[in-house]
Amino acid sequence: MDLHSGSPYWAIKNSLYQGAHPLQENISTDVTIIGTGITGALVAHELCEAGITCTMVDKRAIAGGSTVASTAQLQYEIDVSLYKLSNEIGNKNATVAYRASLKSINDLEALFNKAQIDAEFVRVPTLLLASNRAGLRKLKDEYQIRKESKLPVDFLESIDLQNKYQIDRLGALWNDTSAQIDCYKAAVGLIQHHQKKHDLKVYPYTEIIGYKRERSQFVLQTLKGQTITCKYVIIAAGFEAGRFLPKKIMDLLSTYALVSEPMRPEQLWPERCLIWETRHPYFYMRTTADNRIMMGGEDIPYKNAKLRDAKLLQKTKALERKFHKLFKHIPMITDFSWCGTFSSTHDGLPYIGEYKDKKNMFFALGYGGNGITFSMIAAQIICNKIKGKKDPRESVFSFDR
Ligand SMILES: Cc1cc2nc3c(=O)[nH]c(=O)nc-3n(C[C@H](O)[C@H](O)[C@H](O)COP(=O)(O)OP(=O)(O)OC[C@H]3O[C@@H](n4cnc5c(N)ncnc54)[C@H](O)[C@@H]3O)c2cc1C
């Protein structure tokens, strides 16, 4: 599967990290992590810090999958509203999921600070706009349930939006707990850090095509014929993890994003907050460190990469139209656009942990629009499991939820 195409901004802004080579021989390790995206990098971080020896492999360049295409907004708000999620899985579990997401933003900030990784982590508020009257009604219900669940949230009336942001919408939810990062820089920074600090072994361009179990161990087979013997396997293979699972657990979507030419800082909206809306698929945006506007949305069901790519120009134009409708006074001009593959689960939550009888094979599948916060949660839950510690969040994200 081709995970993205076009010109992802982070791939242009950051130089390609080449500090590792493909696997050339048979090796043994305690834990193998399949995937060097942000999920694999965070899992490696947690394991290395816990003194557990691990090895990473990736069929592509390091962090060259969805991670390099991500717009990398960090929000505690999940694609499925707390109101809807509470109806589906009960308010207690829904609140656990929302609180876990909220905590993971703080954990990511602390982790980058402690390891001194410049992931361009910046705190920004979030504005969730009502797309229409129905959206406004949903926002009012959502505001109520988030207040009752003691989650950070404020309600902004239409007049507040007009006065402060020059946005003409019926209302919005606002909170100041979000952040944004450069996801590629974060993943590469973590991997480099642990290569130096813990002698983490990383093998790009090394595809795992199968595995067998020999007594209490796994023997992984690579496309080029080498084997990796290990006690535990972590599947951080993103949207290609399906080959390790016996059944389909997510729906794939094609998604589109663009970044503008650099703006003058005073041309950008107040607070440079993250903005998204109640409509599905939603339109969303953020800014970058070099004063560009980055936006995305226009999701459609994924059929194949050729069809996804063929719509890039049309979808770029649609994103531009949506932006100019929202901010008539900001002269945004597109510099680069790209498309990627994305996936959603029935309840908007990720799948984390072992799948039924697949003992010692842990899945870290941070699906949905909040993939990165889910990656942080997955890394912690899996590290705890390997250390033999129970994690109070695990049942909410498990395969048999
Ligand atoms: C356009 C776009 C915008 C997004 N915006 C946001 C956002 O604002 N906020 C947010 O939180 N999330 C966002 N996401 C989602 C987020 O980017 C993903 O959840 C996250 O990058 C997934 O990281 P990952 O490490 O799990 O997967 P990937 O980055 O895809 O890494 C998985 C790696 O596994 C490797 N691999 C797969 N199979 C094998 C195999 N058999 N052998 C060896 N290697 C293998 C792949 O090559 C790949 O490098 C967005 C995604 C896209 C595409």
In Å, how far from its chain's centre is CA 70?
7
Q: Which atom of ligand 1 is nearest to the CA of 338?
A: 1
Asked whether the bond before 281 is cis by omega within 30 degrees of 0, the reply is yes
Using CB distances shorter than 6 Å, the residues near ligand 1 are: 3, 34-40, 57-60, 64-67, 69-73, 183, 207-208, 236-238, 240, 255, 257, 296, 340, 342, 366, 369-373, 375
pLDDT by residue for the chain (401 residues), tens only, comes to 576 778 899 999 998 898 999 999 999 999 999 999 999 999 999 999 999 999 999 999 999 999 999 999 999 999 999 999 999 999 999 999 999 999 999 999 999 999 999 999 999 999 999 999 999 999 999 999 999 999 999 999 999 999 999 999 999 999 999 999 999 999 999 999 999 999 999 999 999 999 999 989 999 999 999 999 999 999 999 988 888 988 888 888 899 999 999 999 999 999 999 999 999 999 999 999 999 999 999 999 988 888 898 999 999 999 999 999 999 999 999 999 999 988 888 899 999 999 988 899 999 986 777 899 999 999 999 999 999 999 999 999 999 88
Q: What is the pLDDT of residue 85?
A: 96
Pocket test for ligand 1, best of 71, 78, 202, 233 (most atoms within 8 A of CB): 71
Check: CB of residue 332 under 8 Å from CB of residue 324: yes
CA–centroid distance, residue 74 to ligand 1 (Å) = 15
Q: What is the pLDDT of residue 1?
A: 54
Nearest CA, atom 36, ligand 1: 237
Return the domain boundaries, the chain: 21-121+178-248+345-401, 126-175, 251-344
Pocket test for ligand 1, best of 2, 67, 78, 259 (most atoms within 8 A of CB): 67
CA–centroid distance, residue 67 to ligand 1 (Å) = 4
Nearest CA, atom 38, ligand 1: 237
Spatial distance between the Cα atoms of 365 and 202, rounded to a whole number of angstroms: 20
Q: Which atom of ligand 1 is nearest to the CA of 3?
A: 30
Tell whether the torsion through CA atoms of 129, 72, 48 and 61 is positive or negative. Answer: positive
Q: Which atom of ligand 1 is nearest to the CA of 209?
A: 41
Q: Which atom of ligand 1 is nearest to the CA of 237?
A: 34
CA–centroid distance, residue 240 to ligand 1 (Å) = 9
Nearest CA, atom 31, ligand 1: 37
First to last CA, the chain: 28
The residues, any chain, with a CB within 8 Å of residue 364's CB and separated by 6 or more, are 39, 40, 43, 234, 235, 236, 352, 375, 378, 379, 382
CA–centroid distance, residue 272 to ligand 1 (Å) = 25
Q: What is the pLDDT of residue 286?
A: 98
CA–centroid distance, residue 214 to ligand 1 (Å) = 30
- Secondary structure, 3-state, the chain: CCCEEECCHHHHHCCCCCCCCCCCCCEEEEEEEECCCHHHHHHHHHHHHCCCCEEEECCCCCCCCHHHHCCCEECCCCCCCHHHHHHHHCHHHHHHHHHHHHHHHHHHHHHHHHHCCCCCCEECCEEEECCCHHHHHHHHHHHHHHHHCCCCCEEEEHHHHHHHHCCCCCEEEEECCCEECCHHHHHHHHHHHHHHHHCCEEECCCCEEEEEEECCEEEEEECCCCEEEEEEEEECCHHHHHHHCCCCCCEEEEEEEEEECCCCHHHCCHHHCEEEECCCCCCEEEECCCCCEEEEEEEEECCCHHHHHHCHHHHHHHHHHHHHHHCCCCCCCEEEEEEEEEEECCCCCCEEEECCCCCCEEEEECCCCCHHHHHHHHHHHHHHHHCCCCCCCHHHHCCCC
CA–centroid distance, residue 373 to ligand 1 (Å) = 12
Q: What is the pLDDT of residue 16?
A: 86
- For residue 38, what are its two tokens? 């942000």
> What are the Cα distances from residue 277, in Å, to 5, 174, 217, 274?
26, 11, 47, 10
- For residue 322, what are its two tokens? 């949506």
The residues, any chain, with a CB within 8 Å of residue 298's CB and separated by 6 or more, are 255, 256, 281, 283, 315, 318, 319
Homologous superfamily assigned to 21-121+178-248+345-401 = FAD/NAD(P)-binding domain (3.50.50.60)
CA proximity to 392, closest of 168, 50, 77, 93: 93
CA–centroid distance, residue 391 to ligand 1 (Å) = 24
Pocket test for ligand 1, best of 70, 220, 224, 349 (most atoms within 8 A of CB): 70
Check: CB of residue 279 under 8 Å from CB of residue 289: no
> What are the Cα distances from residue 398, in Å, to 40, 58, 89, 164, 337?
18, 25, 13, 42, 35
